[in-house]
Structure 1
């Protein structure tokens, strides 16, 4: 088991040439009770504390799961990679929306058939999530004008890889993105530590409300990685482990139905669920009212075109030798 966890870390670390120790994942999740020993039917879902995980937050806070007769526990992790490591270790049953899809892809390489995706977050020029920001007082007008400048991005192989592609496509092939927590992006720009950042919402909204940053361009992954500004970029996904689906199929089906009901609640009553961002994320009450909420595509809503763009996204990681083999998106989608 620990060998599989280490493979997720080593696959990502080899690409970004960092030195995460092999035993880290086991230590990170050791505080969680092993599911194999659990005597209850609690469903533990890992999440990265960002806005995209709102179906899980709303589902817990508004008793969507409880009304379905389910006991669901939201388990917080510092990164998407840690969520996947916990899934491999058997400490959690799945991931909430917002968990980096590429991290799930790495998990599938470490343990083939690790999980099934039940919903994903599409973003593009209209559904705003990904963006390039600069300081409010800067004179930069285009991404191309940032050639040779200091570029920041969020932590993890998905963020670094995508930042590289964005700036390579804008005439800056030698870019070396500086990894930093997303929560530090606005401060880093304001302090002049970096000249621009590739980041995710709510960073742009935070910077705008504080008068410290401005958006240079949104929907950058769809435009520069997928080649179409309106193409859906499925950067984050909710999933369940194959082990859970096999061991408790009826319970898993009830959870999926309830989770999709939570997505429906988010889409139909956004004002009602916005306060749920407070507590689960670093977003405060004022920001919760302004931050763009994510879009959702459930497993049954994926079209061939959607799957094609999702696959194109994964293929980027294969082409860049981050994935050691091709990861087939279609086979990772849940089928009722």
Structure 2
């Protein structure tokens, strides 16, 4: 205490002097501040500091929103894109995505190389490979769909009362399918296991809206169709399935069907934006698995799907950059070249998005 008294004397005998003594704070008797008041002041001060820090953080501008034009097709295969847009999964990653509708894969890819869009949702793998064969180095793959063991997107159906029971029974019949060389080649490969598909079956190319009527009227005896046509026909009692998932069953396991791509220019100039697109699609894949019925409702805005069957429509498996079976893609590309779907062999190893390339 003698030392304290000497210090107080140097400071003019201040009776409210606060000193450190014996590892505790003491205030001399007569001080205007006591221990309780100090604690209150400390709490108020910390609260004010917290509010200040929080306000500073809130006042900082959000991450810059990047505008991206993405082409899509009005088909359920673009499910991950629909979910990412409608559930705000792109927006949450700083992307303002403008969906632009195209009727065919070729139209979407033509717009990509012309610079009218920056990326596409799911388009036919065959169309993308044909673009690479004819005009190389235009795109980078960021997502894929594939037929795996449990896929029911592709099926071959006949009328409910048709005498046709098996694929072998299609010899000498008319079979309708989606327009384009890809589906025709697939169908010939499938039926070629049972008879000469080049000579013993007539293949009729039909746009999806015309397929149900063609089957019902007898214009064709069977349909090699994609979703949602098969589910729609079966739900109305107009058709029954004689083969489900034939691409996987008879051609290749697994069977990669389609790709989402970004332009090569965007991949080079804005790799971080591409990373955000991939992150949004990956989140959509997870949402599709966790909430399939809720996800299916997003199809109604973009694809001509009957609301009564939308929850029953089958989907492909989705592959992100880390799960793509690249060997299967190359094997299928080689098959396309062999069968004349592609004008030449395409090396696929360099087609995938790699940041910094």
| TM-score of Structure 1 vs Structure 2, range by shorter chain | 0.7 to 0.9
1:257 alignment partner in structure 2: 279
- Could you tell me whether the CA contact under 8 Å between 1:207 and 1:213 is conserved in 2? yes
Larger Rg: 2
1:177-256 counterparts in 2 under 5 A?
A: 177-226=203-252, 231-256=253-278
Encode CA deviations 1:183-213: one digit per residue, 9 max, x unaligned: 3222211111101111112111101111001
C-alpha displacement of 1:331: 2.1
Instruction: For 2:221 and 2:202, locate their aligned partners in 1 and report how far apart those are by CA, in whole Å.
Output: 13
2:162 alignment partner in structure 1: 138
1:74 alignment partner in structure 2: 99
| 5+ long unaligned stretches in structure 1 | 1-39
2:315 alignment partner in structure 1: 293
C-alpha displacement of 1:130: 1.1
2:144 alignment partner in structure 1: 120
Encode CA deviations 1:213-272: one digit per residue, 9 max, x unaligned: 11110111122222xxxx111111111111111122222222221221122211221122
2:119 alignment partner in structure 1: 94
Instruction: For 1:116 and 1:44, locate their aligned partners in 2 and report how far apart those are by CA, in whole Å.
Output: 16
Instruction: For 1:221 and 1:262, locate their aligned partners in 2 and report how far apart those are by CA, in whole Å.
Output: 25
C-alpha displacement of 1:330: 2.5
> Secondary structure of the equivalent of 1:72?
strand
> Secondary structure of the equivalent of 1:262?
helix
Instruction: For 2:128 and 2:352, locate their aligned partners in 1 and report how far apart those are by CA, in whole Å.
Output: 12
Over 3 Å counting, the alpha-carbon distance change for 1:135 and 1:125 in structure 2 is farther
2:332 alignment partner in structure 1: 313
Normalising by structure 2, we get a TM-score of 0.77
C-alpha displacement of 1:301: 1.1
Moved more, 176-185 or 231-240: 176-185
C-alpha displacement of 1:276: 0.3
RMSD, matched Cα:
1.6
Encode CA deviations 1:263-301: one digit per residue, 9 max, x unaligned: 221122112211101020000221212112321111111
Normalising by structure 1, we get a TM-score of 0.82
Instruction: For 1:74 and 1:42, locate their aligned partners in 2 and report how far apart those are by CA, in whole Å.
Output: 11
C-alpha displacement of 1:161: 1.7
Instruction: For 2:131 and 2:335, locate their aligned partners in 1 and report how far apart those are by CA, in whole Å.
Output: 16
Encode CA deviations 1:100-136: one digit per residue, 9 max, x unaligned: 1000101111221221211211114411111111111
- Could you tell me whether the CA contact under 8 Å between 1:130 and 1:201 is conserved in 2? yes
1:8 alignment partner in structure 2: none
Encode CA deviations 1:66-111: one digit per residue, 9 max, x unaligned: 11111101111111111111112111112212x1100010111122
> Secondary structure of the equivalent of 2:173?
coil
C-alpha displacement of 1:41: 4.2
- Could you tell me whether the CA contact under 8 Å between 2:173 and 2:202 is conserved in 1? no
Question: How many residues are paired up?
Answer: 289
C-alpha displacement of 1:176: 4.0
C-alpha displacement of 1:58: 1.1
Instruction: For 1:330 and 1:195, locate their aligned partners in 2 and report how far apart those are by CA, in whole Å.
Output: 41
- Could you tell me whether the CA contact under 8 Å between 1:234 and 1:310 is conserved in 2? yes
2:341 alignment partner in structure 1: 322
